[in-house]
Amino acid sequence: MRVWFLSAGLALMCMAQNAAAGTVLIVGDSISAGFGLDTRLGWVSLLEQRLKREGFDDKVVNASISGDTSAGGQARLPALLAEHKPELVILELGGNDGLRGMLPTQLQQNLAAMIDSSKASGAKVLLLGMQLPPNYGARYTEAFAKVYGALAEEKKIPLVPFFLEGIGGHPDLMQADGLHPAAVAQDKLLENVWPTLKPLL
């Protein structure tokens, strides 16, 4: 009888662990898609490894596409939410909007819609902020950067203010195009996200 109770207890513990395990959905652009890299070296793969190492059972779905904009992400999101039913959505978009000179107000509207859709599905949301190189002009780059903080405050969601903190502007950490982090910078990308991400799991 004692063996039966032990077995039943272990089974319940396993069931509880499986019930607690969720899905982390990452909707991003080339930085999260691992452009120019072996994707096994990208920050998303490193995140999967860290989750396992630290005892989390969460599944990571990387729905990032190189070249994607906030409008593209917004169009793709409903189907992704329906298919994967994530507990957490990480939004890493906007860089391509900025590089194409799109209006910051449009970026804000698109990301706001994505945040609202994710919340309506029952998911938590983590927003990864971006900044543009200074050659885009102070007025535009400042308006662009403010979008993320304004959204985080309005929607009451956690924010990583600048995803490329400590990486952008450092040629030794960037690929030859000067836009995409190199393999050596992927650990740093994860470290920029992890302290804000971990409490959401």
Residues annotated catalytic, as ranges: 30, 177, 180
Cα–Cα distance, 50 to 44 (Å, whole number): 10
Which tokens belong to 143?
């308006």
Which tokens belong to 62?
């990387």
Amino acid at 45: S
What is the separation of C-alpha 56 from the centre of its chain, rounded to a whole number of angstroms? 17
Phi, psi angle pair for 78, to nearest 5°: -55, -45
Q: Going by C-beta distance under 8 Å and a sequence separation of 6 or more, which residues neighbour residue 79?
A: none
Which tokens belong to 31?
């930085």
